[in-house]
């Protein structure tokens, strides 16, 4: 009798532990950036890449215009891959590209742009990466399509041909 | 190419499990001797895992970036040593290493156990195969180290620079030897229960495995701790980080098991303890793997997190736990009567008391580690459990623990008396006076610290006396216990008398305190193969006229682009002087941290002594009084 009760309690304890761990797995407690779409873009105040002048959100983003915010860095290999698509996107002319230079140094970043071409209308430098996190970035590269001061679409990782045509469809 | 061979070898290896199980089950019924085929199949399985592991190492050496694991964790500019150690510096490779050690150990077990009963050996093999198959499937299905990427990238992403450290390169293999060794103990305990072989002979036979796992686990934890101290630059050696805790929990269980086995070997008692602990040690090692690899915990240990992996280990872990509960309840019967067996003053009673304390320490660490998960799931509150929790709950109970540890080895088995134990009281008084004298010099709370230090001194003196009284008899135990007293003393003095200064300094500036001045003289730059180093030169002058030059470093790694700070540590027998310098964004000054840490080196030495004790015991025929 006593041993049956003991068994029961033992098995129950482990079952409960299992369920808790199982649930814990699903609500992973790693820091997850905010991913809600259609939210207002976070405001920021950053130094311009070229001349260190301060650039604030309100100055860049105008309503009724599309913006493509791209987080990149010269040390990031996938960024090189996606670069040609950014150049392609720039040709479209209906969209403004804003580059967030993420945790980078000026020399490497400017030679990156010199070698591969500069698709950006504005480049701001996000030296410590905090502004990018406020945008909800997981890492580099990552891009946001902005319209009327709202993020309407985000792209985690390098954009590809498909993404490009999708963007072009939206802004048409 | 190497990856391809490695990948196929894995499949072959798994295939052999089928043969092994088939022939083992058949062999259970007929003949009295173990079928030779089983041994050769086990060896073949090990062979294929070795090939697979070599395949991965060769891919790493050749920087074959068509292999996803190599691409993610290596880089052409890395020194050869770190290319090789990169093999197990990641989730996939380290699991392959697990599997390698699993198959290696079961092969060794089969050779070394030929004097044991056949049924017991086969059952051990069968249980071990369950674990091996679990790991094969886990590896192949959720974390294959041989994924192919096309087109082949030109360059890899690089190994995290904080992992590029000699101590850390060998830390995982050593730790895994300990973890996986416990799997043999687990399988063997289950097999012993199924075949009713929980006897003195079994204890004698499994003791070697317990000792070996224990030595490796101890050294593995030590290496991790040394790495944290030298590389992370926080100036501490233990942070109660969840991942550290999950290595400490099996250690508690294994240490307790070691002592139980010693009793069991002497007389057939504490069998339930031994069984439960054998199961618990491995279950805790596995839970550690689960907690670390599933991303359910936040920690400094950066493994890629993937819930699917977590789910697999979770189900696997609980399958093993329920299997063991089933076997324990239906096959294990405690035959002896405990009441008659224990006299209050005897060696086994003191071992039993300390086992209970060990279980208490284990529970504290267990609760501190998993309670936050429970709380978050049930109430969605997030809490973090830190050092104060552990210090408050563990430190006071160290006192009786240390006392029992000092007295126990001086008692006899079965029955003892207090004759000729006068010296103990003397030691106690000396210890107390000595500690009181030391503690009084410093401005810290008197009572608790004095009692703590004096109980550690008490153990220290008792073990020192035993060196003289018992000479070489029981040397291994004595060294281990002496090492433990030294460890506790060093940790206590280290935490009580550490000094720390944190300040911002520009080049040429000086920082003054009552005891010393820090002068930031200049900085140098050096280009290394895979990083650029900025080396600061600091001159620390003490009031007594002596001075130290310290050169902490900032390393800017190229792949991946990460800045790490290398502490400069001046070590001597009495104190460590520890300095780190940190880069502050867009500022001319550096953040400088200077610490004086007494007895640091003794922490390492004492842990080495402890494991050396275990190592010596390996060569001993029989446990003596």
Which residues on chain B are in Cβ contact (under 8 Å) with A77?
153, 155, 157
Which residues on chain B are in Cβ contact (under 8 Å) with A127?
585-586
Are B599 and B197 a contacting pair, CB within 8 Å?
A: no
Residue B463's H or E segment, with its range, is: helix B446-470
Residue B612's pLDDT band, with cuts at 50, 70 and 90, is: very high
Hey, are the CB atoms on A22 and B314 less than 8 Å from each other? yes
Residue by residue, what is the 3-state secondary structure of A71-113?
EECCCCHHHHHHHHHHHHHHHHCCEEEEEEEECCCHHHHHHHH
Hey, are the CB atoms on A7 and B561 less than 8 Å from each other? no
Same domain, A82 and A7: no
Q: Which two tokens stand for residue B410?
A: 């001086």
Averaged pLDDT for residues B441-458: 85
Hey, are the CB atoms on A29 and B382 less than 8 Å from each other? yes
Averaged pLDDT for residues B227-234: 78
Residues of A near B (Cβ–Cβ under 8 Å) read 3, 7, 10-11, 14, 18, 20-30, 73, 75, 77, 103, 127-128
The SS3 of residue B552 is coil
- Taking alpha carbons only, the member of B547, B542, B545 closest to residue B515 is B542
- Relative to beta strand A66-72, strand A95-102 is parallel
CATH number of residue A159's parent domain: 3.40.30.10
* Euclidean distance between CA atoms B496 and B478, whole angstroms: 27
Hey, are the CB atoms on B298 and A29 less than 8 Å from each other? yes
User: Mean pLDDT in chain B?
Assistant: 85
Which residues on chain A are in Cβ contact (under 8 Å) with B322?
11, 14
* Euclidean distance between CA atoms A13 and A10, whole angstroms: 5
**B144 has pLDDT over 90:** no
Residue B625's pLDDT band, with cuts at 50, 70 and 90, is: very low
Query: Considering the domain boundaries, does residue A87 fall inside one?
Result: yes
Rg for chain B, CA atoms, rounded: 26
Residue B559's pLDDT band, with cuts at 50, 70 and 90, is: low
CA distance B623 to chain A (A): 34
pLDDT of the residue at B486: 94
Q: State which of B71-85, B92-106, B428-442, B494-508 shows the largest mean pLDDT.
A: B92-106
pLDDT of the residue at B218: 96
Which residues in B519-533 are b (16+ Cβ under 10 Å) and which e?
bbeeeeeeeeebbee
Task: Tell the residue number behind the tokens 């020194």, with chain if given.
Answer: B79
- Which of B305, B307, B560 has its CB closest to that of A26? B307
- Taking alpha carbons only, the member of A168, A23, A34 closest to residue B314 is A23
Tens digit of pLDDT for each residue in A88-127? 888 877 888 888 888 777 777 888 888 888 888 888 888 7
Close Cβ partners of B553 (under 8 Å, ≥ 6 residues apart): B533, B534, B535, B536, B565, B566, B568, B581
Same domain, A2 and A57: no
pTM, full prediction: 0.78
Structural domain boundaries enclosing A23: 1-30
Same domain, A15 and A70: no
Query: Considering the domain boundaries, does residue A39 fall inside one?
Result: no
- Which of B155, B298, B329 has its CB closest to that of A77? B155
Query: Considering the domain boundaries, does residue A85 fall inside one?
Result: yes
CA distance A88 to chain B (A): 22
Could you tell me the end-to-end alpha-carbon distance of chain A, in angstroms, rounded to an integer? 77
Pick the residue of A15, A28, A73 with the most B CBs within 10 A to test the interface with B by mutation.
A28
CA distance B96 to chain A (A): 23
Tens digit of pLDDT for each residue in B450-504? 899 999 999 999 889 888 887 777 888 889 999 999 999 999 988 888 888 888 8
Same domain, A12 and A49: no
Same domain, A66 and A4: no
- How many Cβ atoms are within 10 Å of B396's Cβ, its own excluded? 13
Query: Considering the domain boundaries, does residue A36 fall inside one?
Result: no
Hey, are the CB atoms on B305 and A128 less than 8 Å from each other? no
Are B598 and B575 a contacting pair, CB within 8 Å?
A: yes
Tens digit of pLDDT for each residue in B335-394? 654 544 666 777 888 888 889 999 999 999 999 988 888 887 888 776 777 788 888 899
Residue by residue, what is the 3-state secondary structure of chain A?
CHHHHHHHHHHHHHHHHHHHHHHHHHCCCCCCCCCCCCCECCCCEEEECCCCCEEEHHHHCCCCCEEEEEEECCCCHHHHHHHHHHHHHHHHCCEEEEEEEECCCHHHHHHHHHHHCCCCCEEEEECCCHHHHHCCCCCCCEEEEEECCEEEEEEECCCCHHHHHHHHHHHC
Q: What backbone phi and psi angles, to 5 degrees, belong to B404? A: -65, -35
Hey, are the CB atoms on A20 and B373 less than 8 Å from each other? yes
Are A163 and A155 a contacting pair, CB within 8 Å?
A: yes
Averaged pLDDT for residues B128-154: 88
Identify which has the larger pLDDT, B216 or A128. Answer: B216
Domain definitions of chain B by residue range: 1-164, 499-601
Same domain, A86 and A167: yes
**A72 has pLDDT over 80:** yes
Q: State which of B101-115, B263-277, B608-622 shows the largest mean pLDDT.
A: B101-115
- How many Cβ atoms are within 10 Å of B601's Cβ, its own excluded? 17
CA distance B88 to chain A (A): 24
Could you tell me the end-to-end alpha-carbon distance of chain B, in angstroms, rounded to an integer? 58
Q: Which two tokens stand for residue B49?
A: 């895992």
Surface-to-core class of residue B504, CB atoms within 10 Å of its CB (0-12 exposed, 13-18 middle, 19+ buried): middle
Same domain, A127 and A85: yes
**B279 has pLDDT over 90:** yes
**A37 has pLDDT over 80:** no
pLDDT of the residue at A1: 45
Beta bridge partners of B523: B536
Residue by residue, what is the 3-state secondary structure of B222-258?
HHHHHHHHHHHCCCCCCCCCHHHHHHHHHHHHHHHHH
Query: Considering the domain boundaries, does residue A76 fall inside one?
Result: yes
* Euclidean distance between CA atoms B42 and B48, whole angstroms: 10
Are B126 and B24 a contacting pair, CB within 8 Å?
A: yes
**B420 has pLDDT over 90:** no
**B155 has pLDDT over 70:** yes
Number of domains chain A is built from: 2
CA dist B41 to B21, B45, B111, Å? 10, 6, 13
Same domain, A52 and A20: no
Identify which has the larger pLDDT, B358 or B269. Answer: B358
> Closest residue of B to A102, CA-based?
B561
- In this structure, what DSSP letter does residue B76 have? T
Same domain, A7 and A68: no
pLDDT of the residue at A36: 46
Residue B222's pLDDT band, with cuts at 50, 70 and 90, is: very high
Which residues on chain A are in Cβ contact (under 8 Å) with B290?
21
Rg for chain A, CA atoms, rounded: 22
CA distance B320 to chain A (A): 11
**B603 has pLDDT over 50:** yes
Same domain, A78 and A155: yes
CA distance B153 to chain A (A): 9
> Closest residue of A to B561, CA-based?
A75
pLDDT of the residue at B99: 94
């Amino acid at each position: 009798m006593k041993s049956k009760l003991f068994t029961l309690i033992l098995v129950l304890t482990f079952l409960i532990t299992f369920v808790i761990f199982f649930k814990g797995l699903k609500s992973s407690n790693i820091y997850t950036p905010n991913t809600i779409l259609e939210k207002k873009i976070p405001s920021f105040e950053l130094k311009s890449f070229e001349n260190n002048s301060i650039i604030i959100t309100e100055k860049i983003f105008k309503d009724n215009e599309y913006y493509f915010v791209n987080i990149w860095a010269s040390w990031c290999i996938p960024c090189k891959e996606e670069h040609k698509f950014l150049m392609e996107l720039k040709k479209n002319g209906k969209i403004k590209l804003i580059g967030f230079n993420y945790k980078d140094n000026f020399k490497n970043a400017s030679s990156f742009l010199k070698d591969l071409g500069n698709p950006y209308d504005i480049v701001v430098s996000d030296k410590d990466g905090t502004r990018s996190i406020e945008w909800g970035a997981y890492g580099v590269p990552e891009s946001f399509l902005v319209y009327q001061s709202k993020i309407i679409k985000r792209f985690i990782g390098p954009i590809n041909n498909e993404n490009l045509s999708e963007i072009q469809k939206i802004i048409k | 190419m190497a990856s391809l061979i490695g990948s196929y070898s894995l499949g072959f290896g798994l295939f052999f499990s089928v043969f092994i199980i088939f022939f083992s089950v058949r062999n259970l019924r007929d003949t009295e001797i173990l079928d030779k085929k089983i041994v050769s199949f086990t060896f073949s399985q090990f062979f294929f895992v070795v090939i697979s592991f070599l395949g991965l190492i060769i891919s790493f050496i050749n920087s074959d970036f068509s292999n996803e694991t190599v691409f993610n964790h290596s880089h052409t500019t890395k020194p050869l040593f770190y290319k090789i150690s990169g093999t197990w510096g990641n989730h996939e490779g380290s699991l392959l290493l697990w599997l390698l050690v699993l198959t290696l150990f079961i092969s060794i077990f089969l050779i070394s156990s030929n004097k044991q009963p056949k049924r017991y050996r086969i059952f051990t093999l069968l249980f071990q195969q369950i674990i091996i198959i679990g790991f094969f499937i886990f590896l192949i299905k959720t974390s294959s180290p041989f994924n192919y990427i096309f087109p082949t990238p030109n360059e890899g992403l690089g190994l995290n620079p904080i992992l590029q450290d000699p101590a850390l390169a060998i830390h995982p293999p050593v730790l895994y030897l300990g973890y996986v060794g416990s799997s043999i103990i687990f399988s063997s305990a289950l097999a012993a229960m199924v075949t009713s072989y929980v006897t003195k002979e079994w204890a004698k036979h499994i003791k070697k495995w317990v000792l070996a796992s224990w030595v490796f686990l101890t050294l593995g934890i030590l290496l991790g701790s040394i790495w944290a101290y030298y590389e992370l630059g926080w100036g501490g050696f233990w942070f109660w980080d969840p991942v550290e805790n999950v290595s400490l929990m099996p250690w508690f269980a294994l240490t307790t098991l070691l002592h139980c086995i010693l009793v069991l070997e002497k007389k057939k008692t504490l069998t339930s303890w031994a069984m439960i602990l054998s199961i618990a040690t491995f279950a805790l090692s596995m839970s550690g793997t689960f907690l670390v690899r599933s991303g359910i915990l936040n920690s400094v240990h950066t493994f890629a997190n993937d819930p699917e992996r977590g789910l697999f280990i979770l189900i696997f872990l609980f399958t093993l736990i329920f299997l063991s509960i089933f076997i324990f309840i239906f096959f294990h019967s405690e035959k002896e009567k405990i009441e008659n067996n224990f006299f209050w003053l005897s060696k086994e009673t003191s071992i039993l008391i300390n086992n209970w304390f060990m279980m208490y320490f284990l529970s504290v660490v267990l609760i501190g580690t998993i309670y936050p998960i429970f709380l978050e799931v049930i109430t969605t509150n997030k809490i973090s459990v830190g050092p104060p929790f552990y210090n408050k709950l563990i430190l006071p109970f160290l006192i009786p623990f240390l006392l029992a540890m000092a007295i126990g080895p001086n008692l006899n088995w079965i029955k003892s008396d207090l004759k000729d134990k006068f010296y103990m009281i003397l030691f106690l008084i000396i210890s107390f006076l000595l500690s009181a004298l030391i503690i009084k010099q410093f401005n810290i709370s008197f009572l608790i610290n004095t009692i703590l230090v004096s109980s550690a001194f008490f153990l220290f003196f008792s073990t020192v006396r035993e060196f003289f009284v018992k000479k070489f008899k029981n040397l291994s135990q004595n060294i281990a216990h002496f090492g433990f007293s030294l460890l506790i003393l060093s940790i206590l003095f280290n935490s009580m008398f550490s000094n720390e200064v944190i300040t911002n300094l520009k080049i040429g500036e000086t920082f003054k305190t009552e005891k010393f001045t820090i002068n930031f003289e200049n900085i140098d730059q050096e280009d290394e193969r895979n990083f650029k180093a900025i080396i600061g030169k600091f001159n620390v002058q003490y009031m007594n006229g002596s001075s130290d030059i310290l050169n902490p470093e900032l390393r800017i790694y190229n792949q991946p682009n990460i800045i790490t700070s290398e502490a400069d540590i001046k070590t001597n027998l009495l104190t460590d002087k520890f300095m780190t310098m940190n880069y502050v964004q867009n500022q001319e000054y550096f953040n400088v941290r200077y610490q004086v840490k007494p007895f640091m080196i003794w922490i390492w030495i004492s842990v080495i002594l402890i494991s050396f004790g275990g190592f010596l015991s390996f060569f001993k025929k029989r446990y003596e009084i």
